[in-house]
Amino acid sequence: MIRMKLHLLKYLITLLSATFMLVSNASPVTPNVTSNDLISVTEVIEDSHKQTYHRRNLDNVVDYVTKHTNDEHHGDGENYLLWRKYLRRKHPSVQTLRHFFAEAAQEFTVPVVILEAIAQVETNWTQIGPSIDQGWGIMHLVQNNYADTLGEAAALLDIEPQVLKNEAKQNIRAAAALLAQYAGENQLTQLEDWFEAVKQFTGLINNELREMQAVRYYQIIKKGSQSHTLWGETLRLESHPNVSLTQERISRTRRNQRSTDYAPAISNLTTCNYSEGSSRTIDTWVNHWIGEGTYAGAISWFHNCNAKVSAHFIVRASDGEITQLVKVKDIAWHAGVWSYNKRSIGVEHEVTVTNPDTWTTQMLEASANMARYFTDKYHIPRVRSTTPGILGHNEIKSTACPGTLPWDTWMNYLNNSENYAWHGNGSIISYHGRLLPKNAGVDWPYGITKDVVQLHQSADKPVGFFQWQINEDGCNRLILDAPFLSHSDKIVDITMGRWDTREYDVTFSNITLPFVLGASNTPFTLSNGDWFVIKIAFLSPLNQETRLGAICTDDTPTDAAYLSGSGNVMADGYEWNGNASIISHLFRNLHDQAVDSVDWPYGAFRDITIAASKKPMVFFQWQNDALCPKLTLDAYDLSDSEKQVDVYVKLWDAPNDEAMVYYNQTLPLTIDSIRPTKEGSWNVVQIKFRNAISEPTQIDATCSGF
């Protein structure tokens, strides 16, 4: 279905007289190293190519997770000390690594983008080892009791395995040789043709996990990615949107069986590495990190009966997905101390020493939401550093696990004191689109080249929404700012995604406004007519009212790293879905267009959004007048129970507690605007679905009553 979104002029000039000046001075997100940490830069000429190696003082990163470590965490007591050894060596620069990837790709006729994506997922382009499942080097060549890709690759190159552990260039060559070996003599003309070879390369314990990990590599190829290395460099992989990942293949990697202990989790129970617990008393919650490796790699290791280690759950960084490995009634082998194992629930998090920024909002919220459920169920005190209570692994025995976990943030999520408050604009529905003057965008900028959200003083953290239609000539960059706030109050997470799906969302975490979005700092191709939605979530409550603005700009996009996924914006498991207010330079062209129910319905007297599964929460914006006195809301292809909603309606600049609420309604539902109100007043409408929906669906808001 082609979405013909009409843009509408907001008649808010008298309300929005305060003009905000926006400048691009946001600081990029960088790891905790500075130029003062530089120990040496080594340049080597090899085959007429200059190779650069960096050494930095990483003690503030490495020693934080090694200085008190002598345990048997994950079955290998030397892991932390080996990580320190590797990270204190000189390390190839990103540019040099790109040269290594290109050389290996050419030598073995393997697509370079596949090599680069594997390295990003597995190690963030870091020569290190071992991972939780005993993987080594940038390409994560494993050597354990169920896979030996390290040994296979070493044999192909006739090189000692230790060389592949030590040298980044040879590790990359070995991976390329192995992929070529797995591909055989087949004619592989498309990136997708390499999928089976990539699956085999993962070295995981079963086909399900191998396929899941291969899909993850291909998602990075398709969407692109951006991160920072421990050496302070930006690592950016370009997107390849034409890569085809069939829905059937993606679905196969996501098990349909849900946990019977915690419904949001996927059940993938191990047959070993735990003890039956029949009637155990649970009074403790223990957080872990995997330290080095991946979500799939950790699941694989916990299924390995020789590992002698497990956890009840593991949480994925990118989107907060949770997999259960051991039933809660049983005893997982996670703490290394039997008395603690017997009384606790242990949870791993997909966070590594090479990419500490993977403590994402999505992961922290998903983890804390699960902890809230079990602390309620078993009456576990929500207090740190005590038993009974909430513990890190390092509070049980001498280990640095859970590493860099931001405890204050996690505890705030757990205690539900960090809920976002709903603020601001949803997509526009107004029959007045036909009235736009020819000079719209100059005299009447709101809804055309700029827009604004009113933020209110609250104990909760505000979140504002915008919708943006790309115009390559007039509006292909957008600057976001709340100019009247102090510097410390302007720290936000910014999420950007396509209007009709949350699948490709990316989030810039811990950003200080102002911030400029554009093609160079996002994975999206910004083409004329494309629609995007933007969420700005403030990390602290506000002690004043202010305005959050978005303006078309020519400024250079801000250099900052993003992570895949958007995360929740509200409590109670609600997930952000759908539309926010329109910013479109194309508004000015609509004055000559026919506006009626056939030619141009969207944005004039009807609007739609696509809601994904889970519990959607969607927004519309509605201008109420004689031509559109009521609004009918509906959703398609849902059962009656899935159509149960709570609907909130408020004036665009009113605080949340002034909203008119339609509790426990079943769609379709017809609503009135806030009364009393002026003709042409603007309202925002929030629809919260009470239950998860089984599949993505279209939600409509249509003018009625005239």
pLDDT tens sequence across 182-225: 998 877 888 999 999 999 999 999 999 999 999 999 999 998 98
Per-residue model confidence (pLDDT) at position 694: 81
SS3 543: coil
Per-residue model confidence (pLDDT) at position 179: 96
Encode 195-215: b = buried (16+ Cβ within 10 Å), e = exposed.
bbbbbbbbbbbeebbbbbbbb
Same domain, 611 and 681: yes
Return the DSSP state at 191: G
Return the DSSP state at 259: P
Same domain, 340 and 484: no
Same domain, 196 and 94: yes
Boundary (domain end) residue, out of 210, 231, 250: 250
Is 646 within a domain? yes
Strand partners, 576: 617
Is 369 within a domain? yes
Per-residue model confidence (pLDDT) at position 28: 26
Q: What's the CATH number where 130 sits?
A: 1.10.530
Encode 581-609: b = buried (16+ Cβ within 10 Å), e = exposed.
bbbbbbbbebeeeebeeeebbbbbbbbbb
> Distance (Å, rounded) from C-alpha 30 to C-alpha 356?
11
Same domain, 593 and 491: yes
Boundary (domain end) residue, out of 217, 250, 283: 250
> Rounded to 5 degrees, what are φ and ψ at 271?
-95, 0
> What is this structure's pTM?
0.67
Is 17 within a domain? no
Same domain, 299 and 237: no
Same domain, 176 and 198: yes
DSSP character string of 302-318? HT-TTT----SEEE-TT
Per-residue model confidence (pLDDT) at position 706: 59
Same domain, 530 and 621: yes
Tokens of 100: 């290594």
CA-nearest of 603, 535, 541 to 575 is 535
> Distance (Å, rounded) from C-alpha 73 to C-alpha 62?
17
Count of structural domains, the chain: 3
Per-residue model confidence (pLDDT) at position 671: 87
Is 661 within a domain? yes
Return the DSSP state at 657: G
- Between the two ends of the chain, the Cα-to-Cα distance in Å is 27
Tokens of 476: 């292909």
Please report, as a single letter, which amino acid is at residue 282.
I
Same domain, 299 and 351: yes
Same domain, 59 and 107: yes
Alpha-carbon distances of 189 from 102, 194, 483, 504, 575, rounded to whole Å: 18, 9, 51, 26, 39
Is 23 within a domain? no
Contact in structure between 630 and 703 (CB atoms under 8 Å): yes
Is 13 within a domain? no
> Rounded to 5 degrees, what are φ and ψ at 327?
-65, 145
Is 9 within a domain? no
Same domain, 363 and 425: no
Per-residue model confidence (pLDDT) at position 68: 39
The DSSP element (H or E) to which 689 belongs, if any, is strand 681-689
Kind of pairing, strands 581-583 and 461-469? parallel
Contact in structure between 632 and 702 (CB atoms under 8 Å): yes
* Domain of residue 369, residue span: 255-414
Same domain, 128 and 264: no
Per-residue model confidence (pLDDT) at position 581: 54
> Distance (Å, rounded) from C-alpha 392 to C-alpha 399?
10
Per-residue model confidence (pLDDT) at position 529: 81
Alpha-carbon distances of 58 from 5, 88, 162, 405, rounded to whole Å: 51, 7, 24, 18
Same domain, 178 and 78: yes
Q: What's the CATH number where 334 sits?
A: 3.40.80.10
Boundary (domain end) residue, out of 373, 398, 414: 414
The DSSP element (H or E) to which 610 belongs, if any, is strand 606-611
Contacting residues for 652 by C-beta, under 8 A, at least 6 apart: 12, 424, 425, 454, 621, 682, 683, 684
126 burial level (CB within 10 Å; 0-12, 13-18, 19+):
buried
CA-nearest of 220, 123, 210, 217 to 172 is 123
Which ranges of the chain have pLDDT less than 70? 1-40, 48, 59-78, 80, 246-256, 356-357, 393-403, 416-446, 567-568, 571-604, 613, 674-679, 705-706
Is 14 within a domain? no
> Distance (Å, rounded) from C-alpha 117 to C-alpha 120?
5
